[in-house]
Structure 1
């Protein structure tokens, strides 16, 4: 792997906690620019009519209210899409779920958009008229359906590219045989984790030893495997990983975290029962009181 590729991958791994905010900010900027252009185009068309009574601010209100409604709905929409992707569905069922999401998205978008416009028009001497509900909603629904398809397409392309950029891991057998995967959850079908994981980064593949993984972090329908130098996403649930990798020394210490006990430097507990594990590389991993006793039993010699 070239040094420039690794530096870029490392940069993305180091700034991972900011990526969601950056993606949302880019979406807001895109919506603002796109809808500003649409508003300017609408005003140009309206101004050609000698009997035009529309004020200059009105096309911008129409477009910006739509953009604001879209921005507010994107976060819950992505949340439910990520939940959907944790389940195994046939293609037809998967498409039906997305059709349902698109319909709900359109209804919510139109409702918020009209509400914003009505509120703004209350501050002016003009009156807002949405028009015939059936005709206008069908018009907005067609636009929202196409917008939903575009958004989802970009989402899956970006997620695929992002995981390839930082290095996506997959489970393999000892003799470089790929393990079969059960459904969309990506849980390995074997009873235990192998010693090595296959990592695909950009256009290359290499092996990562499971024994080099310090701690594991849940991230949607993926888990992030943290080594001393890199972080690799693996399509697997935290529960299944901890069950499969228990014999490799991994202990679940939190709903979202697991650690390899050989890398523990020290542990400190609070009066509440919660605690913190300090690893050999200085990483601090939260310990939930729910897993306190199981952690102690694993660390106590029999």
Structure 2
């Protein structure tokens, strides 16, 4: 299988791969910790199932927190700008993460012990809470680092776009607008012209530039990017998508006041009713029949 086929397969199954990897990490860690605790307490009066309940309750609580943590880190990526503000946000994140993890973990343990006609009592002393905070702080930092590393690798594999530090000197009237971006893909670098971008979709802190079915993430807000795009060519059609008007092949009204556009590459995008007026009249009469 070629590298391109590998990438296409990964993009198609990206969510499943991510869930499988996280599940494998959590399962291996909980199983290993259970065996360690079981060996350390083999001579005590503890039931053999209790270490498994402790570790897997912690694992399930952690699993419930990873999706919110991934969302949080996606909107607060690690960077050198405003370190004080980042530190403040992550300290809040750690406190919320620890409190939620403890409450979920204790709830799962109490419910499980009840099934075995037992009673679980969590140690709410300051010393134990400090221990839990230190442990969850390490876990929080570990997954923040893992998420950042994973996103970096994926962006480089898919191809990450960036603006040119020294753009070419254009003499046309449109030179004040963004003309091209540099894409870095593994050990390759190449330019993408904005006129070849069929549409742009917001994805967290990135704007994904779609060219021939491939998405190249550009780290910029939608508002900032719109200020750099030629308004005669690029218009916003809903909260998260911008289209290249010159690559639109068909416009269709839908029931109600919404509509949809079909691009030359076959992609169909929804046009929210609040943005229909941004579509030029010349395009809106391509298919005048209303459904």
**Coarse TM-score class (shorter-chain normalised):** 0.7 to 0.9
Q: Given that residues 78 and 148 in structure 2 are in contact (C-alpha distance below 8 angstroms), is that contact kept between their aligned partners in structure 1? A: no
> 1:217 and 2:212 equivalent?
no
Aligned pair partner of 1:260 in 244, 248, 255: 244
Aligned pair partner of 1:100 in 92, 96, 105: 92
Q: Distance in 2 between matches of 1:19 and 1:158?
A: 12
Q: Given that residues 165 and 202 in structure 1 are in contact (C-alpha distance below 8 angstroms), is that contact kept between their aligned partners in structure 2? A: yes
Aligned pair partner of 2:104 in 90, 104, 112: 112
> 1:227 and 2:211 equivalent?
yes
- Cα gap change, 1:298 to 1:25, in 2 (>3 Å): farther
- Provide Cα deviations, 1:229-279, integer angstroms capped at 9, x if missing partner: 522111112232233213461111111111111111111111221121111
Q: 1:27, CA displacement in angstroms?
A: 1.0
Q: Distance in 1 between matches of 2:261 and 2:210?
A: 15
Q: Distance in 1 between matches of 2:278 and 2:107?
A: 52
1:184 aligned residue: none
SS in 1 for 2:115: coil
Q: Given that residues 251 and 283 in structure 2 are in contact (C-alpha distance below 8 angstroms), is that contact kept between their aligned partners in structure 1? A: no
Q: Distance in 1 between matches of 2:200 and 2:282?
A: 17
Q: 1:89, CA displacement in angstroms?
A: 4.8
- Cα gap change, 1:298 to 1:133, in 2 (>3 Å): farther
CA RMSD of aligned residues (A): 2.4
Q: Give 1:72-83 correspondences, 5 Å limit.
A: 72-83=64-75
- Provide Cα deviations, 1:194-247, integer angstroms capped at 9, x if missing partner: 322111111221111111111111100101111115221111122322332134
Q: 1:135, CA displacement in angstroms?
A: 2.2
> 1:283 and 2:267 equivalent?
yes
Q: Given that residues 216 and 223 in structure 1 are in contact (C-alpha distance below 8 angstroms), is that contact kept between their aligned partners in structure 2? A: yes
- Cα gap change, 1:271 to 1:192, in 2 (>3 Å): farther
- Provide Cα deviations, 1:162-185, integer angstroms capped at 9, x if missing partner: 111100011124329xxxxxxxxx
Q: Distance in 1 between matches of 2:6 and 2:177?
A: 29
Q: Distance in 1 between matches of 2:176 and 2:73?
A: 29
In structure 2, runs of 5+ residues without a counterpart are 170-174, 286-291
1:38 aligned residue: 33
Q: Distance in 1 between matches of 2:80 and 2:256?
A: 39
> 1:24 and 2:15 equivalent?
no
> 1:241 and 2:236 equivalent?
no
SS in 1 for 2:69: helix
1:180 aligned residue: none
Aligned pair partner of 1:54 in 46, 51, 63: 46
TM-score (ref. length: structure 2)? 0.87
Q: 1:132, CA displacement in angstroms?
A: 4.4
In structure 1, runs of 5+ residues without a counterpart are 177-190
User: Using CA pairs below 8 Å that are at least 6 residues apart, which structure has the higher relative contact order?
Assistant: 1
- Provide Cα deviations, 1:41-77, integer angstroms capped at 9, x if missing partner: 1111111x1xx22112111111111001111111112
Q: Point out the more displaced range, 263-272 or 77-86.
A: 77-86
- Provide Cα deviations, 1:11-66, integer angstroms capped at 9, x if missing partner: 444x2xx423431332122111210111111111111x1xx221121111111110
Q: Point out the more displaced range, 34-43 or 192-201.
A: 192-201
- Cα gap change, 1:37 to 1:298, in 2 (>3 Å): farther
